Amino acid sequence: MLVGAGQVSERLGRPGYGARGPVALAGAAAALALDDAAGGRQSRTARLRERLDVVAVVRQFEDSGLEPPTPLGHADNVPRAVARRVGATPRRAVLEVGGGQSPHRLAVEFGAEIAAGRAEVVLLAGAEALSSARHWREQPEDLRPNWSETVGGDIEDRGPGLTDMTSPRLAALGLDHAPAAYALFENARRARLGCSRAEYDRSMGELFAPFTAVAASNPHAAAPTLRPAAELMTPTDRNRVIAEPYPRFVVARDQVNQGAAVVLTSLGLARDLGIPKDRLVFCHGHADVAERPLLEREDLSTSAAARLAVEATLAEAGVEASEIDLFDIYSCFPIAVSVVVEALGLRPDDPRGFTVTGGLPFFGGPGNDYAMHGLAEMVRRLRRRPEAAGLVTANGGILSSQSMGLWSTTPAPWRAGVDAEIRRQVAAWPSPRVTDTPRGAARIETYTVVHSRDGGRRGIVVGRLDADDARFVAATADDSATWALLEEDQPIGRAVTVDEAGVVRA
């Protein structure tokens, strides 16, 4: 169960900005989480610190291959550097794989470890200082802060992960760029629903406008500005189109300085340590599953794995979607929210809302660590509403990995979950044949157009060959006929040709 939570943030140019690096931000959040668990009693905090035997940290974007190395330096052992900041010497130091699913996945993993008696007190933490890193990279070297830190000690480094976002072949087409990859799913969903461009744009704006209201009241939000639906979807100089159908305002905002942490322990140890009952938040159901690789998924308009995870979580918790009081649905792009909302059987305008933080485009997307903030804020909200139930979901990769849980202050025993069975189901699903050398007549299955800052653009198509229905992904030709086709209200389903160079043409 979760017993403590803490969050920190700072913004360039604002009072209190300290140019703290990721370890310092995570360490500050960890200290707050320990104090929170102890109810502000220093003696309890000290006892918690003494029993802290595992520190697990969410991998930064820099270590995941999604950001260039910062010139400001870094810690050699991030989990132990965070532990040192709270005066702890844990038995285990874990650096998790990359992906937005990782904070919640860690909570579930170490909930099970505690239930099995293999851990006593676990600290989970993470942070990003991407805003500061990018700012200081442009400044003279003698003015830059130094984030280097040598700690040493053993570490369980689980590797960068995110192979779906770092594939050389997909990267060559521009699909290591998350907005382009997610746009493929978004446009496929629009085709499934039979919406015009204008109708679908309006629906995305209406989905995310309530998120801005939550962010506007959150002191840790990176963009605390209330925006109406039309403003979110109207392209301007500030809100340029990144990958159709996404303007910048509905894309995860990674230029942030944010850190979060949570503390887990058992009910028995919490009682022994004197942790107040009003601190305790229990997991009633959870699920964790990975999708098939992008091109091996039968339906690119949704996430069938996310649906399985939702069904398993609610079944284990014994609740219906109508009985959930609070939601924090991972929101890097509208499609990430929509697939979970559909799986829950809810309307997109459900009055309960789908975020407690404000969401990744507005609260901020601190690399892989956003869901740690979702958990931390959910803990705070649930304590204010005893017996309420809150669903937290976390998504990683290219709509690839899902981890979610139903949390409440109502006591519940730890349950093992059915993740192995869900994964067997996913592995058994049929998938289309994929070709890396498409040629000949084909039709568009989904697409996007990526726009660069200098006004350039490039088209990307996922298609099916007429000859054998094999799926492929390819760039489009830069000619007037092809652009005219991609500018139609609905290019999906239209006939194209893949030339001898593997380029799609109208």
Answer for the pair 263, 5: CB distance below 8 angstroms, yes or no.
Answer: yes
- 44, 90: one domain: yes
Backbone angles phi, psi at 406, to 5 degrees: -105, 120
Same structural domain, 351 and 479 = no
Q: Tell me, yes or no, whether 350 lies in a domain.
A: yes
Decide: helix, strand or coil at residue 15. coil
Give the pLDDT score at 494.
98
Are residues 482 and 409 located together in one domain of the fold? no
Q: b/e for 129-163, b at 16 or more Cβ within 10 A?
A: bbbbbebbeeeeeeebbebebebeeebebeebbbe
pTM beyond 0.85? yes
Q: 419 with 498, same domain?
A: no
Range of the domain at 357: 2-165+253-428
* Same domain, yes or no: 35 and 141: yes
Question: Which residue type does 85 have?
Answer: R
**Whether residue 245 has a cis bond before it, omega within 30° of 0:** yes
Do 40 and 107 belong together in one domain? yes
Residue 474 bridge partners (DSSP): 461
Length of the chain counted residue by residue: 506
Question: Do 479 and 423 touch, CB atoms closer than 8 A?
Answer: no
In this structure, the number of other CB atoms found within 10 A of the CB of residue 354 comes to 26
Question: Both 316 and 349 in a single domain?
Answer: yes
Per-position pLDDT tens, the chain of length 506: 999 999 999 999 888 899 999 999 999 999 999 999 999 889 999 999 999 999 999 999 888 877 788 889 999 999 999 999 999 999 999 999 999 999 999 999 999 999 999 999 999 999 999 999 999 988 998 889 999 999 999 999 999 887 776 677 777 777 778 999 999 999 999 999 999 999 999 999 999 999 999 999 999 999 999 999 999 999 999 999 999 999 999 999 999 999 999 999 999 999 999 999 999 999 999 999 999 999 999 999 999 999 999 999 999 999 999 999 999 999 999 999 999 999 999 999 999 999 999 999 999 999 999 999 999 999 999 999 998 999 999 999 999 999 999 999 999 999 999 999 999 999 999 999 999 999 999 999 999 999 998 889 999 999 999 999 999 999 999 999 999 999 999 999 999 999 999 999 99
CATH number at residue 481: 2.40.50
In a domain, 397, yes or no: yes
238: in domain: no
- Domain membership of residue 371 (yes or no) is yes
Same domain, 313 and 420: yes
Question: What does the alpha-carbon distance between residue 185 and residue 494 come to, in Å, rounded to a whole number?
Answer: 17
pLDDT given for residue 261 in this prediction: 98
Alpha carbons 484 and 113: distance in angstroms, whole number: 56
408 SS3 class: strand
424 and 444: one domain? no
Are residues 354 and 393 both part of a single domain?
yes
> Based on the domain organization, do 306 and 455 belong to the same domain?
no
460 forms beta bridges with 448, 475
Q: Which SS3 state, helix, strand or coil, does residue 218 take?
A: coil
Determine, yes or no, domain membership for 346. yes
Q: What is the pLDDT of residue 169?
A: 74
Domain count, the chain: 2
The runs of H, that is alpha helices, within 52-177 are: 61-64, 78-85, 102-115, 130-137, 168-172
The three-state secondary structure class of 447 is strand
Angle at alpha carbon of residue 284, lines to 54 and 393, rounded to 5°: 75
Quote the CA–CA distance of 302 and 29 in Å, as a whole number: 35
- Asked if the structure places residue 293 within a domain, the reply is yes
Query: Is residue 411 located within the same domain as residue 444?
Result: no
Q: Could you tell me if residue 216 is inside a domain?
A: no
380 located within any domain: yes
pLDDT value for 166: 60
Rounded to 10 deg, the angle between the 197-216 and 334-344 helix axes is 90
- Residue of 336, 3, 327 lying closest to 319 (CA atoms): 327
